[in-house]
Chain A
Amino acid sequence: MTSGPDLARSPRLSAPARRAARRFAEVVCPPGMLAHHRTDRVLAEFEQMLAALAPAARKGVAAAFVALDQGARVYPPSRGRRFTRLDDQAAEAYIRTLLSRGPAAELVQRIKGLVVMCYYELPAVQREIGYHPAPYIAAVSRRRLESYGPQIRAGEAAVTEPDADAGQR
């Protein structure tokens, strides 16, 4: 875009954390993610987002995925399996439990928020729910200029003009 962080060079999740993140996304995102083969795009978006977080938060999220994966072993219905090895029904039940209660609920909710945010950033998903802002923005921007062009140009020019009372201050 402009100046600022180049996220293409940002650190990535470790392989175990990434596996857990993928499975987590499959559970928390709507079924359309799998049905339309969008998982890789969601994860790419998520890793870019992760790189923008504060370093402590970034490390915390990565560690949380590993803990979430291993934590499933002590979740009785999983019968000692890791989260990434659970079938859909067990994985859903495990995540629902984590989201609803326990000391990790708030953290898991925040991570869920980040992941689903990345899903709904995809233009195809936005179109499916009837959100297509670019044509709308173009139309109202045009209307603005047609309706108020002279006032807008005068207002923009005034930004660098001296204030009327500049000499008195």
Chain B
Amino acid sequence: MKVPSGLTTQAEVTGDVSVECGAVIVGSGAGGATMAAELAEAGVDVVVIEEGGYHPTSSFRAESVRALRTLYRDGGGGMTLGRPSVLFAEGRCVGGSTVINGGMSWRTPGRVLEQWSTQEDVQAISEQDMEPFFARAEARHSVGWQDPETIGRDSELLKAGAEARGWTVVPNRRNQLHCAGTNNCTSGCPTGAKRSMLVTSVPRALALGARLFADCRVDRVTRARGAVTGVTGHFVRPGGPRGPRLTVRARVVIVAGGAVQTPALLARAGLRSASGQLGRNLSLHPNANVTAFFDSDVTGWHGVHQAFQVWEFMSEGLILTVENLPPPMLAAMLPAHGRELGELMADYNRVVTGGPLVADSGNGRVRSVPGLGTQVFYRLTDATAARLVRGVELTAEALFTAGARRVLLPFDGAPEVRGPEQLRNLLARPVSGRSIRVYSIHLMGTARMSEDPRRGVTDSYGAVHGVPRLFVTDASLFPGPTGINPMETVIAVSMRNAHRLLERRDRYGI
């Protein structure tokens, strides 16, 4: 394997490593890689540490279980504690979750930014303030519309069904450079067309002199006299054993491990934010999937992962989408086993899967449990559950309108539904939140920004209150759910925070 200059994997490390730098960044996803590229471009000596491995574009294939094992944290099998438990996935590889997400790139809605500003007094976060950062993020990652020849029939069916009902449908904006429509986004883009951090900000940062250590888990943020001084960690050897130690002395430490790992690392560093908010306010945009069967072939894997979104119900906190699931994922989701599962899967090419993305209320929490390590607690509120059920109903209605003959709902014990009337009758009765099979790929909000140290973990720019030289730059900063795919918000906020850090670089000596 050829590794880019500046990138070191565990395979190259034979003994303990000790380095010094201006800024050490923990995590190479949307927040960390963006920050690394911005600082490196300004001449800061940057070290990035990534827990996952380096997997180049040439290694990506349509093998979803292998991808789960190699690109996802814990095999994609994260589960919240609570009923129902929510299955969640995070990337763990160079490039982070941007390597395995669907590549939807949307600006944060203005009303959300306004809310962050008014509720938490977050400074310089209006649409106008953020405009230059969104524009730069979009240029850097080739954000735009999909070429028409790459749109699959599953997406066209959702669009047709929704438009027939008079609903607003928008084409997705995605970070893609003439996406081929391989439908392999969640197992790593095999062409590099998806402009993940792996093929944009990571190589950019490396070309500008940054150093990146992959396969390296950060154990501690080190401190002296109250201020942070760097991090310590260890390389992870094949199969999991601890490898050599890594010690980084840095003038600033920037944590970008995502909404689960960031608060966990800060807590391991012994930080007890005065606000008591560290690890709290977790939102996760719960999803639940409808499986619709059509009479003719849809072959959803011929075409881009997700081409359209239904925005008709955004004011209710709902976005509806369809996305093709590869066979292993669909099989895992279906409420059947044995012969019955085989019969359902025999119709794989006639299936459309989709559902709502729901803006939730942020009542989850990340905390360490003795003997179990970092755990995620989440309670699906009645309001969020009701929103999920409505989103499921609307998605099923659209797909019936598009010609679906039968639909499986993501509720335990629900019968197969053969038409809109049966759907309405069924859902006229309350659906228990506990029966909903929920999953999430958008975790946010566990180290929220607020100018008020009594309410937030960091200030408006990710500087941790009360701990000089320590910063956060990932989705854990969000004071609430974005209500839309959050990647572009992470990138733009990270650019903005880098800009602020560079304005004050003399103060930090970087």
Interface of A with B (CB < 8 Å)?
A: 1-10, 27-32, 45, 48-49, 51-57, 92, 95-96, 99-100, 105-106, 110, 112-114, 116-121, 125-126, 129-131, 133-134, 136-137, 140-141, 143-144, 147-148, 151-152, 155-156, 159-160, 162-163, 165-166, 169
The contact string, 1 if C-beta is below 8 Å from chain A, for chain B 12-51, is: 0000000000000000000000000000011000000000
Q: Are B68 and A3 in contact (CB under 8 A)?
A: no
Q: Are B150 and A45 in contact (CB under 8 A)?
A: no
Interfacial chain A residues near B66, Cβ < 8 Å: 1, 121
Expressed in whole angstroms, the minimum distance between the Cβ of B198 and any Cβ of chain A is 11
Residue of B nearest to A32 (CB): B342
Expressed in whole angstroms, the minimum distance between the Cβ of B503 and any Cβ of chain A is 9
Jot down 16 A-B pairs with beta carbons below 8 A, ordered by A: A2-B9, A3-B10, A4-B70, A10-B239, A27-B337, A49-B75, A52-B68, A53-B74, A54-B78, A92-B338, A105-B412, A129-B348, A140-B150, A143-B149, A144-B180, A160-B204
Q: Are A117 and B41 in contact (CB under 8 A)?
A: no
Q: Are A52 and B74 in contact (CB under 8 A)?
A: yes
Q: Are A31 and B327 in contact (CB under 8 A)?
A: no
Among A45, A49, A51, A120, the most chain B Cβ lie within 10 Å of the Cβ of A120
With beta carbons under 8 angstroms apart, the residue of A5, A121, A125 that contacts B239 is: A5
The contact string, 1 if C-beta is below 8 Å from chain A, for chain B 46-69, is: 000000111110010111111011
- Beyond A95-B337, A131-B348, whether A159 also contacts B328 by CB under 8 A is no
Expressed in whole angstroms, the minimum distance between the Cβ of B70 and any Cβ of chain A is 6
Q: Are A5 and B236 in contact (CB under 8 A)?
A: yes
Among B72, B190, B328, the most chain A Cβ lie within 10 Å of the Cβ of B328
Q: How far is the CA of A31 from the CA of B85 in the complex (A)?
A: 30
Expressed in whole angstroms, the minimum distance between the Cβ of B117 and any Cβ of chain A is 23
Q: Would you call B326 an interface residue if the criterion is a C-beta within 8 Å of the partner chain's C-beta atoms? A: yes
Q: Are B349 and A159 in contact (CB under 8 A)?
A: no
Q: Are A110 and B328 in contact (CB under 8 A)?
A: no
With beta carbons under 8 angstroms apart, the residue of B75, B204, B214, B348 that contacts A159 is: B204
Q: Would you call B77 an interface residue if the criterion is a C-beta within 8 Å of the partner chain's C-beta atoms? A: yes
Expressed in whole angstroms, the minimum distance between the Cβ of B98 and any Cβ of chain A is 14
Q: Are B238 and A9 in contact (CB under 8 A)?
A: yes
Q: Would you call B11 an interface residue if the criterion is a C-beta within 8 Å of the partner chain's C-beta atoms? A: yes
Q: How far is the CA of A143 from the CA of B150 in the complex (A)?
A: 10
Q: Are B177 and A152 in contact (CB under 8 A)?
A: yes
Q: Would you call B181 an interface residue if the criterion is a C-beta within 8 Å of the partner chain's C-beta atoms? A: yes
The contact string, 1 if C-beta is below 8 Å from chain A, for chain B 254-296, is: 0000000000000000000000000000000000000000000
Q: Are B180 and A143 in contact (CB under 8 A)?
A: yes
Expressed in whole angstroms, the minimum distance between the Cβ of A47 and any Cβ of chain B is 11
Q: Would you call B182 an interface residue if the criterion is a C-beta within 8 Å of the partner chain's C-beta atoms? A: yes
Residue of A nearest to B205 (CB): A160
- Beyond A3-B53, A4-B70, A131-B301, whether A49 also contacts B65 by CB under 8 A is yes
Q: Would you call B431 an interface residue if the criterion is a C-beta within 8 Å of the partner chain's C-beta atoms? A: no
The contact string, 1 if C-beta is below 8 Å from chain A, for chain B 179-191, is: 1111110000011
Q: Are A156 and B177 in contact (CB under 8 A)?
A: yes
Q: Are B177 and A57 in contact (CB under 8 A)?
A: no
Q: Would you call B429 an interface residue if the criterion is a C-beta within 8 Å of the partner chain's C-beta atoms? A: no
Q: Are B41 and A56 in contact (CB under 8 A)?
A: no
Interfacial chain A residues near B214, Cβ < 8 Å: 3
With beta carbons under 8 angstroms apart, the residue of A5, A117, A133, A169 that contacts B184 is: A133
Q: Are A144 and B178 in contact (CB under 8 A)?
A: yes
Residue of A nearest to B206 (CB): A160
Q: Are A144 and B191 in contact (CB under 8 A)?
A: yes
Interfacial chain A residues near B10, Cβ < 8 Å: 3
Residue of A nearest to B348 (CB): A129
Interfacial chain A residues near B41, Cβ < 8 Å: 162-163, 166
Q: Are B327 and A125 in contact (CB under 8 A)?
A: yes
Q: How far is the CA of A129 from the CA of B327 in the complex (A)?
A: 9
- Beyond A53-B74, A53-B77, A56-B372, whether A113 also contacts B65 by CB under 8 A is no
Q: Are A121 and B65 in contact (CB under 8 A)?
A: yes
Residue of A nearest to B200 (CB): A159
